[in-house]
Structures are given as C-alpha cells and as structure tokens.
Amino acid sequence: MSPTLPSLRRLLLTGLSLLLAAPALATPHALCVYDPAGKAGEFYAQIDEFALAAAGWGVDLSLRPYTDEETATRDYEAGSCDGVLATGVRLQRFNRFPSTLEAMGAVPDYDHLSDMMWTLARYPSAAARLRSGDHETVGMLSAGAVYLFLRDRTMDTVPELAGKRVATMDYDKAAPEMVKRVGAIMVPADLGSIGPQFNNGAVDLCYMSAPGYAPFELWRGLGTSGGVMRAPFAQATLQLMVRAPAFPEDFGARSRTWFAEHFADSVAVAKRADAQIPEAMWIVPSAPQQAEWDALFLEVRLRLRDELGAYDPAMLSALRKLRCARSPSRAECASPRE
C-alpha cells in the first residue's frame, strides 16, 4: 500500500528532526599526525581514538599520517592542516610554554609528567598559556623518557664528556647548550641520522627517547661495552596543536581532559619501550653523580630561560613546584632559582 501524503510529511519531518539533532560533522578538520611508524604506529592509533571521541562532540577529524616530523610541522604552518601532532621541541616556535615541558632535567619521571597533564587540564590559568595567537595546544602524549646512550659505559660523569663527540639535533636549543657546557663536540644530526652515527662509531654518545631504541637499532652502537644512563635527560612529548578559531570554543578544554584521562595509555607505551633495553645496559648514577647532572641541567635551563629565550619562566616554575611537592628535600626547594 502506498504511503499517504500526511504519512510522507511525517516521515520527512522525522528525518529532518533526526538530522538536526545529530552532531554537525559537515566540515572535516585535517590533522597532520607524526608517528615514526606512520599509520601503523601506536601514537597514530591513540590519535585515532581521540578522533572517535571528538566525533561525539560534533568535530570531524581527518587524520593524515606522517613519518617525517618536520614535514608535518611545515604543512601545518603552511595551512594544509588545521592541527598537527609533533614533539614539543618542534612546536617551540609557535608557543614556548608547552614546549618547555621538555626542558632538560625538569621532569624526573612519568609520575611528574602525569601530574602536569592534569594541571594543564584542570586550571584555566594554565590553559590560557597553552594558546598563543591562533595556536592552541589541546593535548599531549608521552613519547618516552630521553636517555643518554654511551658507546663506553665508563663515561658516566659530567667531566668525562669533555672532548667527546655527541650526536646533537641542532633544532633543539637545549642540546647544543649542554654540549657546550660540558666541553663536548657537537655533531649535527636529525632523527634519520642519529642512529647510524651512533651505531657506526661516528659519535661517542647520543640522546634518544626509549621508543627509539628498537627501531634505530641502538644496541648495535652499545655493543658489549656501552650503556644507557638511567636518569632521564628529559621527557619527550607529542603535542597536539590546532588553529583554535577553526574549532568550537570548548574544544581545547574537552580535548585536554580527554588526553589527561588517557595519558596512562601513552605512558604504558613508553614503559614497554624502557623494558626493551636490557637490564645489564642500564647505568644508575650515584647520588653525587646525580647531583652533578642536576646542577648541569639547572644551569642549562636558566641560560635557555634568561639569555636565549627558549624556555618559558612560568612553566619552569610550575615544574619546580611539582618536583618539590613530591621531593621537598631537594636543594632547589630551599633556594629556588626557577
């Protein structure tokens, strides 16, 4: 039996009301997503989960995988994407407040990093600093603790690094400063060359986050005499930055809460990478050695804050407060310089 005119009208009105009630996903927002493993990577998978959550808020995200971080960042800068996932140091040129989270020696472990994720998600005063112009940092993933890889494990103190060749990513302002401070020799490198340089003996040491150990085959450079400094030099992060005007007003706050709630997932990935490094390879610094490294890191951070303008004072201060909240006996808690 054919539907009557009134029944057709009711069907049309019902369909229209359902359409109006559904989240508006008319305009996809492109995200340039850096993951060393591309679309098959775990970081990409986590952003894919985030995109599903965002769809429930009425925001359609179209993900574009990149295996080259600088290309992803350049495409975002050129306007090809509405957002980009890249390391904090790569995004430093847009906003140094979130990138300072990767400051050398400023975040001792994953627990401190998790504390800061919740701080950024909960407090409007912190959230306000995550926007600079149109650029807003709306979430972060842990990309693993950054360790020093040594071809000779006996070089485990600051003075012993003098004259040694260090593979150094020169777009990172902190690393060249540290190399200069210890009297070492900087050998320019990027993520594509740092592994081969270390493995073939062109450099004596390099720094890398734990997830890079396996894909860059750093065990080749370690051999039987090398080692990995257990104390992290920094905490690497992958940060999601967007052009805020292209998104709903509450997108940043909702996104940061989602990333904070799921931050343990990315930490689990980092810890699995830590576990891939054989126990015998770890070098655990003594208390005096650690104090020596901490003093070096502090001097580097102060110079990058005061003279080079690379580190944000407010973020450094917040990180010091977190360190002192967890370890009040630290020397810096009695006489703060950050």
Instruction: Report helix, strand or coil for 140.
Output: strand
Report the C-alpha gap between 300 and 98 in whole angstroms: 18
Q: What is the mean pLDDT of residues 168-190?
A: 86
Token pair 């126990």 in the structure block, residue: 279
Q: pTM higher than 0.85 for the full model?
A: yes
Q: Give the residue from 41, 237, 65 showing the smallest Cα distance to 141.
A: 237
On whether the CB atoms of residues 234 and 103 are closer than 8 A, the answer is yes
pLDDT level of residue 22 (50, 70, 90 thresholds): very low
What is the CATH code of the structural domain delimited by 25-143+235-276? 3.40.190.170
- Listed by start position, the domains of the chain span 25-143+235-276, 146-234+281-310
Average pLDDT over residues 202-221: 92
Coil/strand/helix, residue 93: coil
What the block records as the tokens of 172 is 């990172």
Residues 6+ away with beta carbon under 8 Å from 35: 41, 42, 43, 44, 65, 66, 67, 85
Token code pair at residue 235? 């905490």
Pick the CATH number of 146-234+281-310 from 3.30.70.60, 3.40.630.40, 3.40.50.2300, 3.40.190.10: 3.40.190.10
Confidence of residue 1 (pLDDT cuts 50, 70, 90): very low
What is the gyration radius of the CA atoms in the chain, in angstroms?
Answer: 23
Model confidence pLDDT, tens digit, residues 289-335 = 988 999 999 999 999 999 988 999 999 999 999 999 999 998 899 98
Q: What is the pLDDT of residues 45-73, one digit of tens each?
A: 999 999 999 999 999 999 999 999 999 99
The per-residue pLDDT for 16 is 41
Cβ atoms of residues 209 and 269 within 8 Å: no
Alpha-carbon distance of 150 to 195, in angstroms, equals 12
| pLDDT, tens only, 119-175 | 999 998 888 999 999 999 999 999 999 999 999 999 888 899 999 999 988 778 788
Are 252 and 131 in contact by the 8 Å Cβ rule? The answer is yes
Phi, psi of 236 (to 5 degrees): -80, 140
Lowest mean pLDDT among 29-43, 172-186, 197-211: 172-186
CA distance 55 to 7: 33
**pLDDT confidence of residue 298:** 93
